[in-house]
Amino acid sequence: MKKYYLGIDLGSTTSKSVIINEKDEIVGRGITNTRANYKIAADIAREEAIYDARFTLLEEKIGESQGKRPELKKYMEDLKNVFKYGQFKRRMDSLEKMLIQTVENFSHPNKADILEKLKIIIEKIRPQIHHEFIYEMLGTKNQFFRDIVSEKYNGEVSNIGSEFYEPLILAFDKSITPTENEMVSYNFKELVIESIKILDEKYQGLADTQGNNNKEDWYYAELNTTKDNYETLAYTLRQHIEAIADEEIPIANMVGTGYGRALLPFPEDCIKSEILCHAFGAHAVFPNTRTVLDIGGQDTKAIQVDSYGLVTSFHMNDRCAAGCGRYLGYIADEFGLSLNELGPEALSATRETTICSTCTVFAGSEVKELLNNGEERPNILAGLHKAIVQRAMSLIARSGGVKNEFTFTGGVARNQAILKYVKDMVANTYGNLTMNIHTDSIFMGALGAAMFARRNIQVNLPKAQKSEVREPVE
Amino acid sequence: MEKLIYTVGVDVGGSYVKAVLMQYDHTGGDHKLIDKQTEKIRKRNPKDVVVDAVDIILKRNNLSYDKDIAYLASTGEGEMVEKKKGHFYSMTSHARGGKYFAPEAKTVVDMGGLYVRAIKVDSKGKVLDYKMTGQCASGSGQFIENISRYLGLAIEEVGEISIKADNPDVPSGICAVLAETDVINSVSKGISTPNIVKGINLSIASRVVKLLSSLRAESPIVLAGGMGMNIGMIQAIEEISAENKKSTFTFISNPNAIYSGAIGAALWGGFRYYKLKEKQTTLVV
């Protein structure tokens, strides 16, 4: 009987979960945005990790019977993407119901018109999202339901007359939170079968030759092999889906960590500090790590570890969003960009605009002013990215500097512009040393938690014994 | 010289453009607030928003800018107002606007989108001394706006909801951006919306009262700026002030609080218009 261990890192912005096997290998990862109901956030992250684990098992099974051919990887990636669309569609349905209900409860005199406009918007969004998921791999772009929907919705609202702007935005704000806080369970098998059907249609409709697209040739070569082989793959998939969908994934132990850990519905001895977990996870992936920088949603941590991955000292930012992920998130909102677009645009800058304000909110209005004065957006973004890294560097200095090797984790480590500035500044201050960045950087905390779960380390120290006079035992 | 003129004041803030049409009485009678308009900037260029706001007011009153408006004055981010005849510094405008609300006022506190300013004024509305919040938005209107968005409330509802609180939950964090997470925490602990909103109003109110104490403000104090329209905020400020042993303040609120800057600018505009007129006539003589 296989045993699995689960780690959940409930961050301020995203909730991550990792499932590992008995060899500390990651078999499933899940991520969702943290919402008002922590229990739901943790549950969804766990469910996502379990789906991911099932996909891993599926891939192994097909690999056994079909051989690990390159088109398998592509097909599975496509399948996961379409699977996400299936989940998305179900959430979308409940959001639509909620939106209509919200508007019906409005006391606006022109309620009927608002409702009509709302229905027009919904009709416009649906096919857009379908297309982007199926043909542009939206599901693989690390975006969550809330972000994708609000981006599309706001875009459509802007096209509608200004008199409807406020009520339509308000309707969305009122509806999105309850929709997010409702637990939707999906039937894995049903969704996979549905996804296979959608993929069949997609591959049948593919052109055999490359059109006037500027997609690279290898992509097409891969597509063509997939196109010729998808039927075999789909057939094999259908063979295994039964077994995989019903396979138990027994979680032997779990540990929760992160910002919201105190509110997780876990027993007390299954909760660990995020500092320990981040350090432990980073150290497990890169055993020579001695300094860890973790820039998360709302705190930045500089951690020094010993050769066992245990924390020797650390420093955190103090109750201020300047210098962590939320700073970027806030600015992205001001610009009407998604988080993923910030880094690439900042990299295209010709110079860094100096941002005078420290405070996030002030920086937001300063940035608006700079834009109105004709400052280039990429340069402003570069300035903001540089500011974050400068604050992180001062934290590192206070925690004891950078020792070889240096590992950079947390959600912000996904941002290419941040990476550039971190590399530059670390090299400038501490000389050339090994710098580790892993694609799973954002999951390090959850991985550490899962590893603690496997080691079943008792977190609670032995309680202080009440001094009581005892009878001598004979 | 005509006795009554129309002046327009435009106050360009961080998140809203406020415009007013005033009837200015040169002979020292009462100036009248004829019309007012608030426009949310959102992600538009403030220049366009200013044009919209002024146009709406002029159209509504069948006035033409060239023929009927003696003076258009700007305050706040004045460079956004292209048609202005003159610009007045925010502090002077708010002081004057506060005096318009309550002639007996000795202090005006402007609680805006980004800053809170406490201004001591003399009997004529001249600025004697002032204090302002520093480089942190933890006591700003923008903060309340962000929170209300998260809770799915329209900004107009915030005040009404706040006064329904029975057991306010004051956030521990200070940072406006991080406090949003505090709010998520409160929601997940099952704390009611009124108690969350009231808690935030209280935390901002305690900053406002601290600022007033450090300025050694004299009562009565006029609550001006966007947050002065929020009855929950007014209530919170009064409560915090009552707990304050050292100094007791008395406050005057006004439903047009958000227009204090625009009104002040329009009034100074009228004043300047006649000053210029006098100069010209003396030159002619």
Please answer yes or no on whether B176 and A360 come within 8 Å at the CB atom: yes
CA distance linking residue A302 with residue A144, whole number of Å: 28
Task: Please tell me which residue of chain B has the smallest CA distance to A14.
Answer: B181
Please answer yes or no on whether A358 and B181 come within 8 Å at the CB atom: no
CB < 8 Å to B14, chain A = 365, 368
CB < 8 Å to A259, chain B = 181
- In this complex, is the C-beta atom of B34 within 8 Å of any C-beta atom belonging to chain A? no
Q: For residue A90, give how far its alpha carbon lies from the nearest alpha carbon of chain B (Å).
A: 22
- In this complex, is the C-beta atom of B247 within 8 Å of any C-beta atom belonging to chain A? no
pLDDT for A467: 41
Number of Cα atoms under 13 Å in the Cβ half of residue A54: 25
The model carries a pTM of 0.81
Least reliable range by pLDDT among A252-261, B110-119, B177-186: B177-186
- At residue A474 the predicted structure's pLDDT band, cuts being 50, 70 and 90, is very low
Which residues of A lie inside 8 Å of B (Cβ-Cβ)?
A: 12, 34-39, 165-166, 170, 173-177, 259-260, 263, 298, 319-321, 326-327, 330, 334, 336, 357-362, 364-365, 368-369, 372
Q: For residue A298, give how far its alpha carbon lies from the nearest alpha carbon of chain B (Å).
A: 7
Q: Residue for token digits 């707990």?
A: B243
User: What mean pLDDT is predicted for residues B34-60?
Assistant: 91
Higher pLDDT, A302 or B142: A302
CA distance linking residue A356 with residue A395, whole number of Å: 20
Facing A361 at nearest CB: one of B114, B184, B187 = B114
- Residue pair B188/B181 in contact (Cβ under 8 Å)? The answer is no
Calculate the average pLDDT of chain A. Answer: 85
Please answer yes or no on whether B175 and A319 come within 8 Å at the CB atom: yes
CB < 8 Å to A175, chain B = 152
CA distance linking residue B215 with residue A328, whole number of Å: 35
CA distance linking residue A393 with residue A426, whole number of Å: 8
Please answer yes or no on whether A360 and B149 come within 8 Å at the CB atom: no
Strands A251-257 and A26-33: unpaired
Residue B61 pLDDT > 60: yes
Task: Please tell me which residue of chain B has the smallest CA distance to A366.
Answer: B14
pLDDT for B129: 94
- In this complex, is the C-beta atom of B175 within 8 Å of any C-beta atom belonging to chain A? yes
Least reliable range by pLDDT among A121-125, A194-198, B249-253: A194-198
Please answer yes or no on whether B136 and A320 come within 8 Å at the CB atom: yes
Please answer yes or no on whether A362 and B175 come within 8 Å at the CB atom: no
pLDDT for A39: 87
Please answer yes or no on whether A361 and B137 come within 8 Å at the CB atom: yes
- Residue pair B251/B234 in contact (Cβ under 8 Å)? The answer is yes
Please answer yes or no on whether A263 and B189 come within 8 Å at the CB atom: yes
Please answer yes or no on whether A361 and B140 come within 8 Å at the CB atom: yes
Residues contacting residue A46 through CB under 8 Å, at least 6 positions apart: A6, A8, A17, A30
Q: Residue for token digits 């020792």?
A: A403
The length of chain A in residues reads: 474
Please answer yes or no on whether B187 and A357 come within 8 Å at the CB atom: no
Strands, E, within A307-452: which ranges? 311-316, 406-409, 435-436
Count of Cβ atoms closer than 10 Å to residue B242 Cβ = 11
User: What mean pLDDT is predicted for residues A28-47?
Assistant: 90
Facing B152 at nearest CB: one of A177, A362, A368 = A177
Please answer yes or no on whether B150 and A330 come within 8 Å at the CB atom: no
Could you tell me the end-to-end alpha-carbon distance of chain B, in angstroms, rounded to an integer?
Answer: 15
Q: Torsions phi, psi of A209, nearest 5? A: -110, 160
Please answer yes or no on whether A320 and B174 come within 8 Å at the CB atom: yes
Q: For residue B80, give how far its alpha carbon lies from the nearest alpha carbon of chain A (Å).
A: 9
Mutation target to probe the B interface, by most B beta carbons within 10 A, among A365, A366, A384 is: A365
Facing B188 at nearest CB: one of A36, A175, A361 = A36
Q: Give the angle subtended at the CA of A338 by the CAs of B177 and A147, to the nearest 5°.
A: 80
CA distance linking residue A342 with residue A325, whole number of Å: 12
Least reliable range by pLDDT among A134-143, A175-184, B113-122: A134-143
pLDDT for B49: 92
CA distance linking residue A439 with residue A447, whole number of Å: 13
Mutation target to probe the A interface, by most A beta carbons within 10 A, among B116, B175, B185, B196 is: B175
User: What mean pLDDT is predicted for residues B210-216?
Assistant: 92
- Residue pair B217/B249 in contact (Cβ under 8 Å)? The answer is yes
Locate A385 and state its tokens.
């990215």
pLDDT for A397: 93
Facing B135 at nearest CB: one of A259, A319, A359 = A359
Residue B62 pLDDT > 80: yes
- In this complex, is the C-beta atom of B62 within 8 Å of any C-beta atom belonging to chain A? no
Please answer yes or no on whether A327 and B136 come within 8 Å at the CB atom: no
pLDDT for A311: 93
DSSP state at residue B152: T
- At residue A227 the predicted structure's pLDDT band, cuts being 50, 70 and 90, is low
Task: Please tell me which residue of chain A has the smallest CA distance to B155.
Answer: A170
Residue-wise pLDDT tens digits, B67-91: 999 999 999 988 889 899 999 999 9
Helix, strand, or coil (residue B12): strand
- In this complex, is the C-beta atom of B16 within 8 Å of any C-beta atom belonging to chain A? no
Residues contacting residue A300 through CB under 8 Å, at least 6 positions apart: A293, A294, A316, A317, A323, A324, A391, A392, A395, A410
Which helix (H) or strand (E) covers residue A73, if one does? Answer: helix A70-104
- At residue A464 the predicted structure's pLDDT band, cuts being 50, 70 and 90, is very low
User: What mean pLDDT is predicted for residues A156-182?
Assistant: 87
Q: For residue B191, give how far its alpha carbon lies from the nearest alpha carbon of chain A (Å).
A: 11
SS (H, E, C) A76-118: HHHHHHHHHHHHHHHHHHHHHHHHHHHHHCCCCCCHHHHHHHH
- In this complex, is the C-beta atom of B161 within 8 Å of any C-beta atom belonging to chain A? no
Q: For residue A422, give how far its alpha carbon lies from the nearest alpha carbon of chain B (Å).
A: 24
% of chain A with per-residue pLDDT over 70: 90
User: What mean pLDDT is predicted for residues B143-147?
Assistant: 88
pLDDT for A469: 45
